[in-house]
A and B are shown apart, each in its own frame.
Chain A
Amino acid sequence: MNVGKAVYGILSSTSAVTDIVSTNIFPEIAEQETATPFIVYQLQGVSPEDTHDGPSKLDEVRMEIICFSDSYNGAADLADKVRGALDRVSGTYNGVNVESVQFNNVDIEIEYDPRRYSQVTTYTFRIKRDNITIAAGTPVTGAQLGDLSDVNTTGVTDGQVIAYDAASSVWLAATDAGGAETLNDLTDVILTAPLSLNDVIVYGGASDRFYRNRALNINDLGDVNTLGLTGDSILVYNDSGSEWRVIANRTGTVEDVTAGTGLTGGVITDTGTIALADTAVTAGAYTSADVTIDAQGRITAAANGSAGTFFIQRYLSQANTLRSGATATTEIYFTATAEGNGLSESASSDTPTAGKIINRKIYYSETAFADPDTGTWVEFTPAPADNATFATVKAALFEYLKVRTGGTIPISLKQTWQETEPSTFLLDQSYGSGAEAAYSTRQLRLAQTDCMVIRRASDSTTTTIGFDASGNIDEAAITTFCTGTTCSVQTWKDQSGNGNNATQATAGNQPVIYTGGQLVKEGGRLALDEGYFAISNAPTTASPISLAMVAVHTNGSNKNMWNANEQGTNTNYFYTRSDANNTFDAAIYGGGFVRSRASVNAGQFLGFAEFLVSGSNVTAQAYADGVAASSVSTTPPTGIDVNDIGQFQRASTAFYECNNMQELVVWNSNKSSDRTSIEENIGDYFTQNTPLLDTYSGAAAAYSLRLLDSTYTGSAIRVRRSSDNTEQDIGFNVFSELDTVSLTAFAGAGDAFVKTWYDQSGNSNDATQTTTANQPKIVSSGAVILENGKPAVEFTSNGQILESTSATAFTGVIQNELYCVASYDTINVGNQYASGVKIGGSTRGVMIGTNSSSGQIRYHSNATNFETAVGGTIVAATQVLNGGTYDGTTRHARLNGASVGTNTDAGNTGTANLYFIGKHPNLQNGTSKRVQESIIYAAYNSNESGIETNINTFYNIF
Chain B
Amino acid sequence: MNGYIIVLPEGVLSSEQRAERISRELYCVTAPLATQEPYQHDGKVFGMVEHPDGVQFALQVDTEYNIPVSPLATLERLISLMTELTEIEVRELSSYVLNSQSFPFGAIVPSTTTVRTYEEMVELGWFSEEQEFD
Listed from nearest, the 8 A-B pairs whose CB atoms lie closest are A725-B31, A771-B47, A866-B133, A798-B62, A773-B65, A725-B30, A772-B45, A773-B46
B134 interface neighbour in A853, A923, A924, Cβ under 8 Å: A853
Q: Could you list 16 examples of A-B contacts with CB < 8 Å?
A: A722-B30, A724-B30, A725-B30, A725-B31, A725-B43, A770-B43, A770-B44, A771-B23, A771-B46, A772-B45, A773-B46, A798-B2, A799-B2, A799-B60, A831-B132, A831-B134
In the assembled complex, which residues on chain B have CB atoms less than 8 Å from the CB atom of A860?
A: 132
The answer to whether the Cβ of A925 comes within 8 Å of any Cβ in the partner chain is yes
Name A residues whose Cβ lies closer than 8 Å to a Cβ of B.
722-727, 750, 770-774, 797-799, 831, 842-843, 851-853, 860, 866, 922-925
Contact status of A773 and B61, CB under 8 A, knowing A831-B132, A843-B130, A924-B118: yes
In the assembled complex, which residues on chain B have CB atoms less than 8 Å from the CB atom of A771?
A: 23, 44-47
Contact status of A722 and B31, CB under 8 A, knowing A771-B44, A774-B47: no
In the assembled complex, which residues on chain B have CB atoms less than 8 Å from the CB atom of A798?
A: 2, 62, 65
The closest CB in chain A to the CB of B23 belongs to A771
Contact status of A750 and B68, CB under 8 A, knowing A724-B30, A772-B27: yes
Name the distance in Å between A555's Cβ and chain B's nearest Cβ.
Answer: 25
Contact of A723 with B68 in the complex, beta carbons under 8 Å:
yes
- B75-134 CB contacts (< 8 Å) to partner A: 118, 130-134
The closest CB in chain A to the CB of B102 belongs to A722
A722 interface neighbour in B2, B35, B68, B118, Cβ under 8 Å: B68
Contact status of A772 and B44, CB under 8 A, knowing A724-B30, A724-B35, A799-B60: yes
Contact of A726 with B37 in the complex, beta carbons under 8 Å:
yes
Contact of A925 with B68 in the complex, beta carbons under 8 Å:
no
In Å, the complex CA distance between A106 and B133 comes to 132
Residue with the highest number of chain A CB atoms closer than 10 Å, among B37, B42, B118, B133: B133
Contact of B66 with A722 in the complex, beta carbons under 8 Å:
yes
Other A-B pairs, 20, CB within 8 Å; known A772-B27, A772-B43, A852-B132: A724-B30, A724-B35, A725-B30, A726-B31, A727-B37, A727-B39, A750-B68, A770-B43, A772-B45, A773-B45, A773-B47, A774-B46, A797-B2, A799-B2, A831-B134, A843-B131, A843-B132, A860-B132, A866-B132, A925-B2
Residue with the highest number of chain B CB atoms closer than 10 Å, among A726, A772, A842, A851: A772
- B7-53 CB contacts (< 8 Å) to partner A: 23, 27, 30-31, 35, 37, 39-40, 42-47
Contact of A770 with B42 in the complex, beta carbons under 8 Å:
yes
In Å, the complex CA distance between A322 and B35 comes to 85
**Chain B 56-74: CB-based contact to A (< 8 A → 1; otherwise 0):** 0000111001101010000
In Å, the complex CA distance between A726 and B40 comes to 8
In the assembled complex, which residues on chain A have CB atoms less than 8 Å from the CB atom of B43?
A: 725, 770, 772
In Å, the complex CA distance between A16 and B58 comes to 101
In the assembled complex, which residues on chain B have CB atoms less than 8 Å from the CB atom of A852?
A: 132, 134
In Å, the complex CA distance between A851 and B133 comes to 11
The closest CB in chain B to the CB of A800 belongs to B62
A851 interface neighbour in B37, B40, B131, B134, Cβ under 8 Å: B134
In the assembled complex, which residues on chain A have CB atoms less than 8 Å from the CB atom of B40?
A: 725-727
Contact of B132 with A923 in the complex, beta carbons under 8 Å:
yes
In Å, the complex CA distance between A889 and B51 comes to 40
Q: Is the interface of A mostly helix, strand, loop or mixed?
A: loop
Contact of A773 with B62 in the complex, beta carbons under 8 Å:
yes
In the assembled complex, which residues on chain B have CB atoms less than 8 Å from the CB atom of A842?
A: 130
Contact status of A922 and B44, CB under 8 A, knowing A724-B68, A773-B61: no
In Å, the complex CA distance between A492 and B68 comes to 52
In Å, the complex CA distance between A924 and B121 comes to 12
In Å, the complex CA distance between A852 and B35 comes to 46
Residue with the highest number of chain B CB atoms closer than 10 Å, among A771, A831, A842, A853: A771
The closest CB in chain A to the CB of B72 belongs to A724
In the assembled complex, which residues on chain A have CB atoms less than 8 Å from the CB atom of B60?
A: 799
Contact status of A922 and B61, CB under 8 A, knowing A724-B68, A770-B42, A771-B46: no
The closest CB in chain A to the CB of B35 belongs to A724
In Å, the complex CA distance between A750 and B101 comes to 12
In the assembled complex, which residues on chain A have CB atoms less than 8 Å from the CB atom of B39?
A: 727
Name the distance in Å between B105's Cβ and chain A's nearest Cβ.
Answer: 8
In Å, the complex CA distance between A774 and B118 comes to 16
The closest CB in chain A to the CB of B60 belongs to A799
In Å, the complex CA distance between A831 and B30 comes to 35
In the assembled complex, which residues on chain A have CB atoms less than 8 Å from the CB atom of B130?
A: 842-843, 922
Name the distance in Å between A706's Cβ and chain B's nearest Cβ.
Answer: 26
Name the distance in Å between A905's Cβ and chain B's nearest Cβ.
Answer: 12
Name the distance in Å between A926's Cβ and chain B's nearest Cβ.
Answer: 11
In Å, the complex CA distance between A925 and B49 comes to 14
Name the distance in Å between B130's Cβ and chain A's nearest Cβ.
Answer: 6
In Å, the complex CA distance between A797 and B64 comes to 12
In Å, the complex CA distance between A771 and B133 comes to 30
Name the distance in Å between A244's Cβ and chain B's nearest Cβ.
Answer: 89
Name the distance in Å between B118's Cβ and chain A's nearest Cβ.
Answer: 6
Name the distance in Å between A724's Cβ and chain B's nearest Cβ.
Answer: 5
In Å, the complex CA distance between A213 and B70 comes to 96
In Å, the complex CA distance between A923 and B133 comes to 12
The closest CB in chain A to the CB of B48 belongs to A771
In Å, the complex CA distance between A770 and B47 comes to 9
In the assembled complex, which residues on chain B have CB atoms less than 8 Å from the CB atom of A727?
A: 37, 39-40
In the assembled complex, which residues on chain A have CB atoms less than 8 Å from the CB atom of B45?
A: 771-773
In the assembled complex, which residues on chain B have CB atoms less than 8 Å from the CB atom of A843?
A: 130-132
In the assembled complex, which residues on chain A have CB atoms less than 8 Å from the CB atom of B134?
A: 831, 851-853
Residue with the highest number of chain B CB atoms closer than 10 Å, among A773, A922, A923: A773
In the assembled complex, which residues on chain A have CB atoms less than 8 Å from the CB atom of B37?
A: 726-727
In Å, the complex CA distance between A924 and B49 comes to 13
Name the distance in Å between B28's Cβ and chain A's nearest Cβ.
Answer: 9
The closest CB in chain B to the CB of A851 belongs to B134
In Å, the complex CA distance between A771 and B105 comes to 14
The closest CB in chain B to the CB of A751 belongs to B66
In the assembled complex, which residues on chain B have CB atoms less than 8 Å from the CB atom of A925?
A: 2
In Å, the complex CA distance between A936 and B25 comes to 37
In the assembled complex, which residues on chain B have CB atoms less than 8 Å from the CB atom of A726?
A: 31, 37, 40
In the assembled complex, which residues on chain B have CB atoms less than 8 Å from the CB atom of A773?
A: 45-47, 61-62, 65
Name the distance in Å between A64's Cβ and chain B's nearest Cβ.
Answer: 104
Name the distance in Å between A683's Cβ and chain B's nearest Cβ.
Answer: 31
In Å, the complex CA distance between A289 and B40 comes to 82
Name the distance in Å between B66's Cβ and chain A's nearest Cβ.
Answer: 7
The closest CB in chain A to the CB of B101 belongs to A723
The closest CB in chain B to the CB of A867 belongs to B133
In Å, the complex CA distance between A727 and B44 comes to 14
The closest CB in chain A to the CB of B127 belongs to A924
In Å, the complex CA distance between A727 and B39 comes to 8
The closest CB in chain B to the CB of A727 belongs to B39
Name the distance in Å between B52's Cβ and chain A's nearest Cβ.
Answer: 13
Name the distance in Å between A79's Cβ and chain B's nearest Cβ.
Answer: 94
In the assembled complex, which residues on chain B have CB atoms less than 8 Å from the CB atom of A725?
A: 27, 30-31, 40, 43
Name the distance in Å between A752's Cβ and chain B's nearest Cβ.
Answer: 12
In Å, the complex CA distance between A772 and B43 comes to 8
In Å, the complex CA distance between A774 and B65 comes to 10
Contact of B42 with A724 in the complex, beta carbons under 8 Å:
no
In Å, the complex CA distance between A851 and B30 comes to 39
In the assembled complex, which residues on chain A have CB atoms less than 8 Å from the CB atom of B133?
A: 866
In Å, the complex CA distance between A724 and B33 comes to 11
In Å, the complex CA distance between A79 and B103 comes to 120
In the assembled complex, which residues on chain B have CB atoms less than 8 Å from the CB atom of A831?
A: 132, 134
In Å, the complex CA distance between A722 and B130 comes to 34
Residue with the highest number of chain B CB atoms closer than 10 Å, among A726, A843, A853, A860: A726
Name the distance in Å between A130's Cβ and chain B's nearest Cβ.
Answer: 100
Name the distance in Å between A681's Cβ and chain B's nearest Cβ.
Answer: 37
In the assembled complex, which residues on chain A have CB atoms less than 8 Å from the CB atom of B44?
A: 770-772
In Å, the complex CA distance between A923 and B65 comes to 21
In Å, the complex CA distance between A842 and B130 comes to 8
In the assembled complex, which residues on chain A have CB atoms less than 8 Å from the CB atom of B42?
A: 770
Residue with the highest number of chain B CB atoms closer than 10 Å, among A798, A799, A851: A798
In the assembled complex, which residues on chain A have CB atoms less than 8 Å from the CB atom of B65?
A: 773, 798
Residue with the highest number of chain B CB atoms closer than 10 Å, among A725, A799, A851: A725
In Å, the complex CA distance between A334 and B68 comes to 86
